[in-house]
Amino acid sequence: MSANTNLTSSSLKDRNAWLWGFTPQSEIWNGRLAMIGFLSVILIEVFSSQGFLHFWNLL
């Protein structure tokens, strides 16, 4: 159990670093931005009573 609690502040800081390329940090940021985008689409559909593509007049 003590091996799991040996997290240092530098390892936590590196996890949120903005790094380019195929790194675990970029996948974390990609997931976060995808969640924000998905939530935005859901909120647009709920509050406008239209689909996302109809809201932007694409259909």
pLDDT tens track for 18-55:
777 888 888 888 999 999 999 999 998 899 888 888 88
What pTM value is reported for the model? 0.60
For residues 27-54, b (16+ Cβ closer than 10 Å) or e, as one string?
eeeeeeeeeeeeeeeeeeeeeeeeeeee
User: What's the DSSP call for residue 22?
Assistant: S
Apex CA 9: angle with CA 7 and CA 15, to 5°?
Answer: 85
Helices (H), 1-59: 9-15, 24-48, 52-55
pLDDT given at position 7: 47
* 6-24 mean pLDDT: 66
